[in-house]
Amino acid sequence: MREFTGEQLSAIEYRRLDACVVAGPGSGKTTVLVERYKRLVEREGLNPNQILAITFTEKAAANMKSRLAAEFRGDSTRLRELERGWVSTIHGFCNRLLRENAIAAGLDPRFTMLDERQAEDLRSGCMNSALDTMVAERREEALGLIDMIQAPMFLAGQLKSVYDAILAAGRTIQEVRTVPSPQAGGPDAAGLADILLAIVSQWGDAMLGTPVRRDQKRDLQEWALRLREANGAPFLVLKQVLADCPINLTRIHPDVRPVVKAFRDDALEALESSLVDAETSRHRTLVFDVLELFDELYRRRKTEIGALDFNDLERRAIQMLREHPDVRKRVREQFRQVMLDEYQDINEQQADLVALIRGADQFFAVGDPNQSIYGFRHARPEIFRKYRDEVVGEGKHSAEILHNFRSRAAILATVEALLNSATGIDARQLLPKRLFHDKVEPPVEILRVLATDKDEAPEREARWLAYRILAMRGSLVLSGKDGTRLAEFRDMAILCRVGDAMQPILDALDDAGIPYVCGRRQSFLTQREGLDIRAALHTLANPRDEVALATVLRSQLVGLSDEALLRLKMQGHSLISGLNVVGFDRSRLSGFAPEDAEKLGSFLRNLKRWRVAQAVVSLDVLISRVLTESGFRWQPGTVKGDNVEEFLRLARGRNAGRSLSDFLVELESVEDAASKEAELSDEDQGNRVQVMTTHAAKGLEFPVTMIAAMEREGRKGAPSVSYTPEFGMGLRWTDARAKEKDGLKDTWAKANGDRLKDREEEEGNRLLYVAMTRAEEHLILSYSMTGKSVGGWAKKVDEYFQLKGQPPALEPVIARTGEFAVTARIVDTDPPLLKLERSVSAASVVVMERPEVSGQHDSTVNVTSLVAFGLCPRRYYLQRYLGWTSGRARRFDPEELPEAEDEVADTSAAELGTMVHSILAGEPGAWPPRAVELASVFQASELGLRASRAAKAEREWDFIIDVAGTLVRGTVDLWFQDDAGQVIVDYKTDDISADGARTKAAEYAPQLALYAIALGQSRAYLHFLRPNVVVEVAVGEGAQAAVRRLVRDLGTAQNSLQFDLNVGDHCRACSFYKGMCPAESGGDQEESSVAAV
C-alpha cells in the first residue's frame, strides 16, 4: 500500500463539493490524481465512463492512462471499461465529444484534424487571400492602410496571431470590433489646454522664484493656447503641437512636478492616442473587415475539406453544448466527476467549456499559479485564482500540496530566495520531502561567463556547459533507488528560456562529442541526409532543377566526381541536356572515368525507374527505394538513421496519397515549422543529454538541470497588432509625413502595451520558477555577459548572490547567502579542452543478409494466358501480365485471376464471341441473328449433334488444376462423353479463312492439351465457326508434356522477368505493334520513352 501525506490524502478522498488543489512542483500531483480516480472507481463504484480526467498534454494523458492500467492490471472488466474511459487532453475530450455528437454540432461526422502546421498553412493561404481581396476590391483604402500601418509586411502574421488570441478568449471578431476605446470620453485638445491652464494658473510666486520657472509657466500657457486653437485641426497639425509641448520638469517647482508629470505622461499621451484613434478609424475598420473576411474564408475552407483545427474543437464543442441543452444535460449527467489538471494554464474559452460540462459540485481542479507559463498560448492564471477564491468563499474544499518529492532542500531554498518576492509568484514555502544521500558540495552552481565580444560570450558559455557535463558524467554522485550511482548523460538537461539560444549549445555539444537530443535541433531537412533526399525528390519531380540534380550527383546517393559533372555538362549545353544525351546514347559513358561511368549508368537506369514509380508508390516507399538502391544504408539510433527515419515518417504521414510535387511544397512549410520546438517524445532517448526550452520541460524532472543563457530576455514590447481580452485589438501606426519612427499607438494599443508588459514580466518569473524546480539533485544557473551588468534572469542571480564585480577565477568560489551556499564559477576564458571519445556501439544492431529469392512466378495461370505466352512472350507480358488492353476494361474480379481480359482488336467481335458461347451454353436471351447463326453452325455439325445425344455433357466447364506446381485455370467450352469416348470441343469465332483456321489451330493446341490434362483421356477438336472448319488437335502425352514445359517456361519468364519478343506475321494483328511493343523499330524515341532521360 502506497503511503500518502495528509495533504495528499485529503485531496484524494475529498468528495462532497467542488475542490481546488494547489499542487506545488514535485508534489506527486499525478499520483494523487491516479489514486483519486482509482478510489472513485473502486470505492464509489463509478464507471470510468463517468469520470472525465483532463490533462494538459497528450504525454500526461498517456502517462495517467498507463498508470491506471497498471493499477487495474488483472481485472479485465475494469481494463475494458478503462479503454472507454475519458482520460485525455482538453482537445482529445472535445474531439470525442464532437465525433459522438457530430450532427448536433453541425459537423462532418468524419471530420479530420488539422495539425498545427497544416492549420498554419491553411491560415496563411486564407489570410493572404483576404489581404489580396482587400487590395483588389478596395484598392484606395488598402493603399492608405499600407501607408499608415506600422510594418505592413508583418501584418498577415500579426493578424493571424490576434485572430487566435480572440478565439482563445472566446470572443468573435464582431465583438472585438465593438470594444470601445479604453479611454473613451477623455478631454479633447481644448479641454486639455484648459486643464493645463488651470494647473499653471495656480502657480503663485512661491512656485515661480526663478526666471527659468517663470519662463516655463509662460511657455506652457502659450502652448496651451496654441493647443486650444488647434482643437479640431487636422491630425498632423495637432500632432505637431503636441510634439512642441514645452514641459521641462526640471524647470518646475518640485511641489508641482508630480501634477505636471502626470499631465504629460497620462493626459497628453491619452490625447495623442485619441487623436490617433480618430485619424486611423477608417483604417481600423478596414483591418477588422480583413479579419472578418479571413475568418469567413478560413471557416469555409475548413468546411470544404471537412477539417477542424485545434481551436475549432473547443469552439464548436462550446457552441454545441450551448445550443443543444439535451446534449449538455446528457454530458453533465454522464460525468459524475470532472478532474482537471494544470488548471492554471487554461484560457477563457476552455474555462467556458469546463463550466458547460461540469455538474454542480463534481469538479476537482488541480494547478499551481506559480507554474502558469503558457501565456503565449493565451493561458490565463487569473482563472485559477478566481476559481480558488470562489471555492474558498463558498466554503468548498481548497487545499495545498506543498511537500516536494523531487528536489534537494538547497535547490528549493534557492527557488524561494530568488523568486518568492517576484511579481506573478505566490510566495510559498517548498517543503523538501525526498531523501537524498549526503553531499558536501553545494547542489546549486552558478556559471558566470565573461567575454568581451558579444558573439563570443554565448559560445564560451556553451563550451563551459559542455565541459561541466563531461566533468560531472561519471563523477557526480546521484541518489539511486538502491543507494548511489554516478551521473550519466541521460540524467542531465539543459533548459533555455528562448529556443534561439540553443544553437551555440548544440554546437558545443557536437564539438565535445556529447550525445544529446533536442526537440529543436537543426531540422533533419537541413542535415546532409535530408538535403540529399530532398534533392533526389526534386530531381525525380523534374531533373531540370539542376541544382538539385548536381546535389544528388555529388551526394552519397551517386558519388560522382566533380570532373564527371563537368564532363556531363560538356555532353550538351547544360548539366540536364548532358544527362539526357548520355541517357539516350550510353556509349557516351565511355568518355567518363570507369567508376564515374558505372555510377552514372546506374543512376540513369534508376532515375527512369524511380520516376515511373513515383506516381504510383507511396512517397516513403519511394524514398526508401531510392536510398536502398543507391547503396545508402542507415542504422537505427544513429543521427543519420534518425534523420532518414524522420524523413520517412513525414513522407508516410497521414496524407499518404499526396503527389510528389505537393510533398515538396509541404517540405518547405515543414522546414519553417521545424524552427519551432517539437515536443520530445517520451520514447527512450538513450543515454543523451536533453536540450529543450523551459516550456518543453514542463512536467519533467532531471537529476541535473542546467538553465542556460539566463541573460536572455523574454519578448519585449507589444507587436504592431496586439490583442488582450481586457482592451481588445490595438494597432500601431506610422506616418511617413510625421517621420514618426516608433509608431503611433491608438488607445487600444497603448492599453495593451502596458498590460502585456506586466504579463510578460510575471510570466518570466514563473518560467524561471518552473525551470529551477525541474532539478532534483544538481542545478546549474548559467549565463554570459560582456558588460558590467546583465539582464534577464541572470540579473536576479547576480544581485542575490552579489556576484557583480567579482573577479574571474580559475577555481570556483563558494558564495554563501543566508543559510545555504552555492558554488560560483566566474570565468573569462575558455574551459580546458575535453572531448568525449567517439563511441559508436553498433554491436547491438544485427545485420541481416538479404535472402536469395525465387518462386516469384504466379501461383495460377489462365489457359488463355498460356496460349498468349506460347505465341509471343512480350505480348503476353503487355497484355496479360501488365494488363494493357485496347478494349473496354473489365471490372477487377477479386475471386478470379488477377489478369486482364483477352486482347481483341475489335470489341464488337469479342462481344459476338461471348454471345455465341452463351447461346451454346444454353443461356436464355434475345440474341442477335448473327450470333444465333454462328451458334447454329455448331449445333448442326456432327460434333454438335453428338454432343446433344451424349450421355454426359458439360458446357462452359471451368476447372483449376495443378500443373508442374502452378495452378492452371480454364473453361472448357464443351466436353461430352458418348460411346466413342470423351470429346473436348472449343468453339472459335475468329474471322479467318479455312486455311487460316488450320494455322490458327496450332496456336490453340496448348489450350486443348491442358483441357485434356484436366479431363483425362480425350479427343479434342477446335471448331472454327465462321469458316465452319473442325480441326482435331493432338492432346496425347507428347502434347501434354509440351504444355507442361510451356507452363514451366512461363514460370521461368515470370521469375526472371524476361519476356522475349517473338516477331512474326502475327505482329500485324497485335494492337501493341505500333505502340508499346518495340517490334516495329523507328518509333518516336522520345514519345515512346516513359522517362525523361
Partner 1 sequence: MRIVRGAPGTGKTALVFREFKQALAGGREPRIVVPTATLVRHFQHELARDGVICRPRSVISLARFVAELAGEACPLAPPALTRSLIRASLKLLELPAFAEAAKTDGMASVLEETITLFENAGCSPEKLASRALAPRAKAFARVWGAVDKDLQAAGYRSRLAQFRAAISNTLAVNGIPMDLWFDGFIHFSQLEVELLEALGDAGRVVITAGEDPDQTLFDEVTSGVARRPQMTEVAADSVEREADDIARRILELNAAGTPFREIGVAVRDTAVYEHLLRGVFERFGIPARFYFSRALAGHPAATFLGGLIDCALKGWDHRDALGALRADPRMGLSAAFDRFEFEVRERLPDRGVNELLKVASLEGMGDYKRRLADCLAIRQWPEESLRPADWARRMEQLAAKLFLPGRLEPVASFADLDSARSLTAGLRAFTEAVSDVAGLWPAERGLVTLAEYWAVAVQAVREAAYRVPDDRRDVVHVLSSYEARQWDVSALFVCGMTNRDYPKRSSQNLLFPDTEIDALRRVGIPLRRTSELEEDEDKLWGELRYRARRELIVTWPRHDAGGRSVEASRYLAGRDAVEVAQACVPAGGEPNRRGARGRLVSEELLAAVAGAHQQMSVTAVEDLAQCRFKFFAGRTLALRTPPDRPEERLQPKVTGLIMHEALEEWLKSNRRADFVALFEEAFAKACREKHLPPGFRLEVERTFLRGIAAKVSTTEQWQPEETRAEVPFELPLMPGILIKGRMDRIDRMNDTDCVIVDYKSGRTKRVESFTQNKAKLQGPLYALAARETLGLRTIAMMYVAVREDKRFGWGAVPGAELELLPMPEDWIEAAQALAVSRVEDLLAGLIEARPTEEADCRFCDFRDACHVKQDTVQELVQVVGGAHA
Residues in region 510-569 near partner 1 by CB under 8 A: 510, 513, 515, 517, 527-529, 531, 534-535, 538, 542-551, 554-567, 569
Which string of DSSP letters, residue by residue, matches 557-577?
TT---HHHHHHHHHHSSSHHH
Residue type, 20: C
Stretch that binds partner 1, among 341-349, 771-779, 789-797, 838-846 (CB under 8 A): 838-846
Residue with cell 499600407: 146
Q: How many CB atoms lie within 10 A of CB 630?
A: 21
Q: Which stretch binds partner 1 (CB under 8 A): 213-221, 773-781, 843-851, 1021-1029?
A: 843-851
Task: Among 2, 741, 891, 952, indicate the residue that binds partner 1 (CB under 8 A).
Answer: 891
Given candidates 900, 950, 985, 1039, which one binds partner 1 under the rule CB under 8 A?
Answer: 900
- Alpha carbon separation from 742 to 719, 733, 734, 777 (Å, rounded): 12, 9, 8, 47
Integer Cα distance of 412 and 430 in angstroms:
6
951 is a site residue for partner 1 (CB under 8 A): no
Buried b (16+ CB within 10 A) or exposed e, 951-960: eebbbebebe
Residues 6+ positions from 285 with CB-CB distance below 8 Å: none
Contacts 24+ apart (CB under 8 A), 177-183: 177/288, 177/292, 179/727, 179/728, 179/729, 179/748, 181/274, 181/277, 181/746, 181/747, 181/748, 182/727, 182/747, 182/748, 182/750, 182/751, 183/270, 183/273, 183/274, 183/747, 183/751
Our finding on whether 884 is near partner 1 (CB under 8 A) is yes
Q: How far apart are CA 37 and CA 41, in angstroms?
A: 6
Phi, psi dihedrals of residue 829, rounded to the nearest 5°:
-130, 170
For partner 1, the closer of residues 886 and 977 by Cβ is: 886
Q: Which is nearer to partner 1, 179 or 961 (CB)?
A: 961
Give the footprint of partner 1 on residues 1006-1035 (CB under 8 A): 1014
Question: What CA–CA distance (Å, rounded) separates 600 from 584?
Answer: 13
One-character DSSP codes across 206-265:
GG--SHHHHHHHHHHHHHHHHHHHHTT--HHHHHHHHHT----GGGS-TTTHHHHHHIII
Q: Which is nearer to partner 1, 681 or 817 (CB)?
A: 681
Query: Could you tell me the smallest distance in angstroms from the CB atom of residue 849 to partner 1?
Result: 5
CB–CB of 119/310 below 8 Å? yes
**From 30, 420, 574, 993, residue interacting with partner 1 (rule: CB under 8 A):** 574
Q: Which of 2, 741, 838, 952 binds partner 1 (CB under 8 A)?
A: 838
By CB under 8 A, residue 59 contacts partner 1: yes
CA dihedral (113, 118, 123, 124) in degrees, to 10, reads: 180
Nearest to 1018 by CA among 975, 1050, 1054, 986: 975
**704: phi then psi, degrees, rounded to nearest 5:** -120, 120
Does 108 help bind partner 1 (rule: CB under 8 A)? yes
Identify which of residues 82 and 985 has a Cβ nearer to partner 1 in the complex: 82
β-partners of residue 692 are 495
Amino acid occupying residue 835: K
Footprint on residues 1073-1092 left by partner 1 (CB under 8 A):
1075-1078, 1083-1084, 1086-1092
Closer to partner 1 by CB, 648 or 707: give it.
648
Cβ nearer to partner 1, comparing 335 with 387: 335
Among 587, 839, 908, 1017, binds partner 1 (CB under 8 A): 839
Applying CB under 8 A, the span of 106-114, 293-301, 349-357, 416-424 interacting with partner 1 comes to 106-114
Residue 236 sits in the site that holds partner 1 (CB under 8 A): no
Q: Contact region for partner 1 (CB under 8 A) — 135-143, 219-227, 252-260, 697-705? A: 135-143
| Of residues 573 and 816, the one with the C-beta less far from partner 1 | 573
Residue 39 or 59 having the CB closest to partner 1: 59
Q: How far is the CB of 366 from partner 1 (least distance, A)?
A: 21
Please report whether residue 855 would count as binding partner 1 according to CB under 8 A: yes
Nearest approach, Cβ of residue 8 and partner 1 (Å): 25
Binding residues among 591-630 for partner 1 as defined by CB under 8 A = 595-596, 599, 605, 609, 611-613, 615-618, 620-621, 624-625, 628-630
Which residues lie closer than 8 Å to 534 by C-beta, 6 or more apart?
525, 548, 664, 667
| The one segment of 165-173, 423-431, 884-892, 976-984 that binds partner 1 by CB under 8 A | 884-892
* 360 lies in the binding site for partner 1 (CB under 8 A): no
Minimum distance, C-beta of residue 671 to partner 1, in the bound complex (Å) = 12
Residue 974 near partner 1 by CB under 8 A: no
* Binding to partner 1, residues 721-740 (CB under 8 A): 736
Helix (H) or strand (E) holding 640: helix 639-652
For partner 1, the binding residue among 100, 296, 761, 995 (CB under 8 A) is 100
Q: Of 653 and 812, which CB lies nearer to partner 1 in the complex structure?
A: 653
CA distances to 93, 303, 808 from 106, rounded to whole Å, are 18, 10, 67
Which residue is associated with the grid cell 521545424? 674
Question: Of 258, 631, 808, 981, which lies in the binding site for partner 1, with binding defined by CB under 8 A?
Answer: 631
Pick from 203, 467, 634, 723 the residue near partner 1 by CB under 8 A: 634
Decide if residue 788 touches partner 1 (CB under 8 A).
no
Residue (136 or 206) nearer to partner 1, CB: 136
Question: What minimum distance in Å lies between the beta carbon of 550 and partner 1?
Answer: 5
Pick one of 1, 16, 136, 1065: the residue that binds partner 1 (CB under 8 A).
136
The grid coordinates listed for 940 are: 448442326
Stretch that binds partner 1, among 47-55, 195-203, 370-378, 958-966 (CB under 8 A): 958-966
**Per CB under 8 A, 914 contacts partner 1:** no
Q: What is the greatest pairwise CA distance in the chain? A: 148
CA-closest candidate to residue 179, choices 193, 162, 191: 162
Q: Could you tell me which stretch among 64-72, 211-219, 392-400, 439-447 binds partner 1 (CB under 8 A)?
A: 64-72
Q: Applying CB under 8 A, does 846 fall inside the site for partner 1?
A: yes
Q: Where are the beta strands (DSSP E) in 525-599?
A: none
Nearest to 358 by CA among 387, 338, 385: 338
Considering only residues 141 through 170, tell me which ones interact with partner 1, judged by CB under 8 A: 142-143, 146-147, 152-153, 155-156
232 C-beta neighbours (distance < 10 Å), count: 10
Q: Of 291 and 411, which CB lies nearer to partner 1 in the complex structure?
A: 291
Of 402-410, 777-785, 815-823, 897-905, the segment contacting partner 1 by CB under 8 A is 897-905
Integer distance in angstroms from the first to the last C-alpha of the chain?
72
Question: Which residues 675-714 are close enough to bind partner 1 by CB under 8 A?
Answer: 681-688
CA distance 495 to 356: 38
Give how many residues touch partner 1 by CB under 8 A.
Answer: 201
Interface pick for partner 1 out of 436, 927, 957, 1073 (rule CB under 8 A): 957
Q: Does 1093 bind partner 1 (CB under 8 A)?
A: yes
The cell numbers describing 862, all together, are: 489462365
Contact between residue 1085 and residue 575 where contact means Cβ atoms under 8 Å apart: no
Binding to partner 1 by residue 102, rule CB under 8 A?
yes
Q: Which residues pair with 88 in a beta bridge?
A: 54
